[in-house]
Structures are given as C-alpha cells and as structure tokens.
Amino acid sequence: MIKTLTAHGNSAALIIDKPIMELLGITLKTPLKISTDGKSLVISPIRDAGREAQFQDILQRVNSEHASTLRKLAE
C-alpha cells in the first residue's frame, strides 16, 4: 500500500485505513509510538505499559532462577 501525507494545519498527517487499524487492534484512542532508523518510519501501538513491566519482571526472574539450565539448553 502506498500512502501520501495529508496537510493538517501546519503539520502533516498520515491516514491509516480502517482494515489496517482492525488488523493491528488499534482505535483512534490507542497511543502510538513513532520511531525511525533514519531511513524508515515505524509506527507501533503502545500496549498496556503495566503489562510490559510485569512481563519484564517475570522474564528477569525466570532468567535468574534458571540461568544454568538455559545455558545448557543453548549449547
């Protein structure tokens, strides 16, 4: 899909079509993170920050409790 920017006041807007929004599970109220590598623009929905923090805590705990087992599996 090729899109062009649309003038929106003194800024530019990118229109995201409804099928893409449905595919990503986002709405008009979903916060989006915009990042770039200098060549490409990446727009990602921000999921529940609390859930991400909880996942990182659990991942840290699993890694610390099972570090030796995970190293053996990696060999």
pLDDT tens for residues 2-41? Answer: 999 999 999 999 999 999 999 998 999 888 999 999 999 9
Domain ranges across the chain: 6-74
- Note the pLDDT of residue 52: 75
Q: Within 13 A of 61's CA, how many CA atoms are on the CB side?
A: 6
Q: Does domain 6-74 have CATH number 1.10.40?
A: no
The pTM (predicted TM-score) of the whole model is 0.54
Q: 15 with 1: CB under 8 angstroms?
A: no
